[in-house]
Chain A
């Protein structure tokens, strides 16, 4: 009798059983809703001649695509867009490849202690904020006193003004950003490599596969899902060339190659209170990112049979 009742209420029981889980999920969902969904309403600012003193929902003047038109007509917008794509593009590509290569190399190391030390050392710069890192870079890259140029001088290269010369600025931004962040990716890949079934390696070596073959046929396929995930997620950064970094390191001499959408928006939006144009630039970036993410997910799904959702 009692048992019957329980059976008839399976779905009720399920809900009851999972109720704590749902409740535990709630704070996260609420946070996302409050901080990521509600602010989406601010998108309307991109289509208004926004005057802050009229109030957020006040009687603002609607100007259609006026802000976008203003932005795209700025004489430096093409070069700013170009800089953004070049810097961010290289960061995405190198940021994907470098950690994989380093993780594979580290994985081949025999001395475990040494491996751990290196792993920690390359991870460390990730925790230093760009505002501190920028003064460190200013010092080590200085043409007269910086250590990098002392080394270059030692091997007979003329000192290079990495942060003041248009020929080197973008490269410096890309390399320093990769240097700062590749440790993080490396650790993720290393963790994933350890979860590959060691029997696969044994089987491969019995079949006569050498180190390289094992790497190609066992390790990389084992990492495939993670690599694709990282790639899809990184597409989000395709127009994020790194405001923190560039804002702290650029100067008027390298506007030509170093000015990016975010820094331009900062100068327009916050310094001159042009909220409309700033919102339009942000929306433009988000739109492109959405397209790129969707596209890369579609490709991953279609060709690699990868499902995130």
Chain B
């Protein structure tokens, strides 16, 4: 009996010891898993896998060489492709194979026709490359579908397969969620453990890497390795996007440029309200005021309740009234040339003061919802959607909210109109490069030109291809987001899509004229669920968002910001403080706590004291050095 009890005690004791041991192990595992060292371990493991897979591929390649007899025909035509290491599986595997083979044929056809065949040459020995990029949440749903249909995954999919077949490269892809990409990258940087080719999401991270000499200089590769299409896209913005990544004459990254027109502020307005009140679209700021007044007081929606606003406004007035600032020739967040051709900060110009005085007047008249201070941009967009606001300055993507408004009230009709002017001359809008990331190459990587080899292919798909753009780039609308190097888009890519679609409509909806993004957008406009928004944004009618942008461009009313370069030395120290103070003073001017003259003088004083003028000098020096 006694013995039994002893055993029981012993058992429970050992149980406790065991439990403690397990807990220790788990804790230690957790520790290294969530600390900075995780990146190191993860990548080492990846590197090992890479090595193994490289060996396998080498064997496979050797195997292929022996049976190369079958390929002689293709090789004779200069079309060398390499053995794939991925076999599609899933419900639509045939489509995968068809699109893969078709695209490769088309690429050779087109590049041969352009005399660029050498850009499709692969490497004799397989090249292994560690790559890293971010993915957005929209890609997660896309990936679930691809996995089912084609057996693709984040680490191996159509893009990796394509580049393997074309160039004989084995990509070890590390995809990370975009939400904390920058933080993760900082940890990798601090651990001095970086992949061969990767995307950096912020300009400051890029410059931090470049300053320490960790990146390859890309300037020597553009001429030789970029295709005509990539070069055309690079030239579309007069080189503004590339200048963002230039330091001391060296190009440290290839920007993932997208349409710069995405940042343009357009005036969206309820045309049905204008019709109800018997009014025309405003062309001057004075007329605009009459419209605001009428929208607020004359019950434009005819429901007998005083529930409508002129403008939907959010707390960041420099974006919520970007079009109004521009009406006065003010660009409060950008560096641009003044009347004398000198580069100035838009937040300090006389024009900005005038625009602020107008906003203060509007605030006093009650045209601006006093609660704008705590209204987010999404809340303001919701006012567009729920039909309580009649106007909003916003970029073309307001189409989504406009559609919601139209769905709940079929009479509601939003259009874009040219920006009303305050000075009598047409309003000029400012353009700045719109980069969603920067592709960089580790200085130790032997084949920096690989970046261009990949970009050439995806730019062909996105801009020229008619038969392969849908599946490769717009499959579930997100498939180009898997591209390991993103895409070098044209600054007017979206505008070109509009022009392409318009050309198709002008020729009696001749869909054979469509190419690149035009193919996908034509289809989306005919979608029965959300075709409306695409028509509002890209439609051929002359009040769609891009019709207005086209007008602005044709009449020479778009110009480029002077400075979009990296932070200058003094900016690093003082810019946050300056911008804090700027927004505080601007807000007190608008709210009428201080007059425009007095408040603006205070702001300029502060600008002087906090080295604003020296920063201007730094910016001018940078521009002089990096001029085209």
Q: Which of A's residues lie within 8 Å of B, judged by CB?
A: 19-20, 23-24, 26-27, 30-31, 34-35, 51-56, 58, 70, 74-76, 138, 142-144, 161, 163-164, 251-253, 255-256, 259, 267-268, 271-274
Contact = CB atoms under 8 A, between A and B. Distances in A.
A53 B204 CA distance: 11
A35 B573 CA distance: 31
Contacts of B567: 272
Contacts, number: 113
Nearest to A74: B577
B62 interface: no
Contact of A23 (B21, B35, B204, B374): B21
B216 to A, nearest CB: 14
B58 interface: no
A38 to B, nearest CB: 8
Contact of A53 (B13, B21, B211): B211
B583 interface: yes
Contacts of B19: 24
B580 interface: yes
Contact of A55 (B13, B16, B17, B191): B191
B592 interface: no
B186 A52 contact: yes
B3 to A, nearest CB: 16
The majority secondary structure among interface residues of chain A is helix
A117 B21 CA distance: 42
Contacts of B28: 30, 34
A215 B549 CA distance: 75
5 contacts: A24-B20, A30-B31, A34-B27, A74-B577, A259-B580
A66 to B, nearest CB: 11
Lowest 8 A-B CB distances belong to which pairs?
A23-B20, A53-B212, A164-B373, A252-B583, A56-B190, A27-B23, A34-B31, A20-B16
Contacts of A161: 370-371, 373
B209 A53 contact: yes
A77 B214 CA distance: 35
Contact of B572 (A55, A143, A274): A274
Contacts of A144: 371
Interface residues of B, number: 48
Given A143-B370, A272-B572, A56 B20 contact: no
Nearest to A70: B573
B211 to A, nearest CB: 7
Given A267-B576, A272-B204, A273-B208, A255 B584 contact: yes
Interface string B342-375: 0000000000000000000000000000110110
Contact of B373 (A74, A253, A272): A253
Contacts of B584: 252-253, 255-256
A20 B13 contact: yes
B625 interface: no
Interface string B562-574: 0000010000110
Contacts of B576: 267-268, 271-272
B72 interface: no
Given A27-B23, A252-B587, A273-B204, A35 B572 contact: no
Contacts of B190: 52, 55-56
Contacts of A53: 189, 208-209, 211-212, 214
B591 interface: yes
B192 interface: yes
Given A23-B21, A24-B16, A76-B580, A51 B191 contact: no
Contacts of A255: 580, 583-584
A253 B315 CA distance: 9
Nearest to B213: A53
Given A142-B371, A274-B572, A51 B31 contact: no
Contacts of A23: 16-17, 20-21, 24
Contacts of A27: 20, 23-24, 26-27
A267 B204 contact: no
Given A20-B17, A252-B580, A252-B587, 19 more contacts: A19-B17, A24-B16, A30-B27, A31-B30, A31-B31, A34-B27, A51-B212, A54-B212, A55-B190, A55-B191, A138-B374, A144-B371, A163-B373, A163-B374, A164-B373, A252-B584, A253-B588, A253-B591, A255-B583
Contacts of A74: 577
